Amino acid sequence: MSERSDQTTAGILPGIKTPGDLKRLDPDQLTLLAAEIRDFLVVKVSRTGGHLGPNLGVVETTLALHRVFDSPRDRVLFDTGHQAYVHKMVTGRQDGFDRLKQRGGLSGYPSRAESEHDMIENSHASTALSYADGLSKAFTLRGEDRHVVALVGDGALTGGMCWEALNNIAAAKNRVVIIVNDNGRSYAPTIGGFADHLSTLRLNPGYERVLDLVKDALGSTPVVGKPVYEVLHAVKKGIKDAVSPQPMFEDLGIKYIGPVDGHDVQAMESALRRAKGFNAPVIVHAVTRKGYGYRPAEDDEADCLHGPGAFDPQTGVLTAKPSVKWTNVFADELVAIADERPDIVGITAAMAEPTGIVALQKKYPERTYDVGIAEQHAVTSAAGLAMGGLHPVVAVYATFLNRAFDQVLLDVAMHELPVTIVLDRAGITGPDGPSHYGIWDMSVFGAVPGLRIAAPRDAATLREELREAVAVDDGPTIVRFPTGSVAADLPALRRVGPVDVLREDERKDILLVAVGAFGKLGMEVAERVAEQGYGVTVVDPRWVRPVPIELAGLSRGHRLVVTLEDGIRAGGVGEAVASTLRDAGVDVPLRDLGVPAGFHPHGSRAEILAALGLTAQDVARDVTEWVSQLEDPAAEHQPQR
């Protein structure tokens, strides 16, 4: 690769404005273009952060895809969506990479608002094949001569929904081309039976010969080499039988081409043209390397620079100053608890490193399970572990637990099983956008009978509440926390039941219930409101579901109750507190502040919260206005407006 610099506007790349421009390039130009794209990606992502490793691995595959198919007439779907940067570049969005994942800038995932070439944008793994099944059926029923192409990989095929879709795609026999981007990884190395099957292909000596020969041979014949030919019983099976003892894909009723070198544009283009011409479901098995062409990514054993923040493009070293992260606090405390309790086991869904489970995995590998991108299975497997006498800790991103609601409700809670679910990146997470915001958990899972939800405000309460959670032996628990650095510990003045009192003025005008990481915001709001002559009590409930009954007693002595939460208001903590006050006969007005239900755009956490009016200034203004409208028995304390 060439030395990286700011000279990302020279060469072939600036002339690529539409996928059609790719079709005019000769093989040598395509090779140069691939190198330019990698330089471009490294330079741009080094400034903004983003999904680097996955996109370095699909450069040639994406170029071949767009040379063979005609987007947007042919629909191109990405699973997972973080593999779509090269697709964005060749569909006219190169200039947007200067503001990648920044507010008002380019999304880190496919986005319908950005381009007609983007179709789906939820960015949760294992969904694209179901979209493809439905789209292809719609095209067939409408008599439209169109293909659906799904680039599936980076662990997506470890999700069960993919296999449900494959079963239906095979039965329907419509025009679906599935490119399996087989890089052996999701965020980290992919695990599971299917991953082992693909590994068999990659590691078989016959496959190594395929990589050497495929470029020259694939375009002219579906078989590769005389030794391979001798073991084939039919030309239509291609090279599969030579390198795989179990013809998995064709057993599903879907034709199979591969394995193909995914970093060879001509080989991929030849395979895709054959797949396109078949006019029925075909799987093209592309073998790639995550982080390909950028040595720091290739050498990163953890996740091939899957999603780094800003970094030095020459070395790959992150430029942000190290700080204590919420994830690290959880990881360290979980290991400490596991040292004390042999019944503690950890589960994650292909995200051992990002969720912190990797710390437990390194010390107790036999007590840690990575189930792949399969959150539903993770939760029900945890139920089985609990039935077997263990206490599983399931660590996932908050947004991904939505996929396992039924399992939490019926497989865990209905059986009153001691399973602890730890939700990283709860609340507004920022740059990854609406599909990754963890704003639904307190509302959605608050409806689960017997489930307890904890929301720590700092490192000390995270350690404390995690220990309290794993001590529960008669039902499930959730511990949720945001992304990023942990603020300084915020000690309580006193504790009332499970509720921490953080501030307590002599005058009792407002009870401010600040949930979790909003504890610091609550204290800042109280300071501003107090300057207007009102007395504020700030409390952190610590455990938000079920609502501590002690909040009813604390509310009685105040004129107004305000809840402040980093989750959606509909069905959230505020509504639950209001219900608790009604049931307790506490007739105190309540106002709830939180995230409006909706799909909010990407940006930094601070930017999104500001846009939603969840800043100290905005909240203090609202609270002051609300309390000023109440009948005040102490007129001398009216606020100065």
Instruction: Answer positive or negative: Cα dihedral of 82, 80, 29, 214.
Output: positive
DSSP-assigned states of every residue in 215-238: HHHTTT-SS-SHHHHHT-S-GGGT
Nearest alpha-carbon partner for 378 in 362, 364, 355:
355
- Bridge partners, 179 (sequence order): 151, 284
Specify the 3-state DSSP secondary structure of 78.
strand
Instruction: Answer positive or negative: Cα dihedral of 525, 530, 534, 535.
Output: positive
The side-by-side arrangement of strands in the sheet containing 148-153 is 75-79, 148-153, 176-182, 282-287, 255-261
The residues that are catalytic are 290, 375, 403
Nearest alpha-carbon partner for 396 in 465, 434, 349, 362:
349
DSSP-assigned states of every residue in 331-385: HHHHHHHHHH-TTEEEEESS-HHHHSHHHHHHH-GGGEEE--S-HHHHHHHHHHH
Q: Decide the pairing of beta strands 499-504 and 536-540.
A: antiparallel
Q: What span, in angstroms and rounded, lies between the C-alpha atoms of 13 and 90?
A: 8
Is the separation of the CB atoms in 315 and 297 below 8 Å?
no
Q: How many CB atoms lie within 10 A of CB 491?
A: 10
Nearest alpha-carbon partner for 198 in 187, 212, 186:
186
Specify the 3-state DSSP secondary structure of 94.
helix
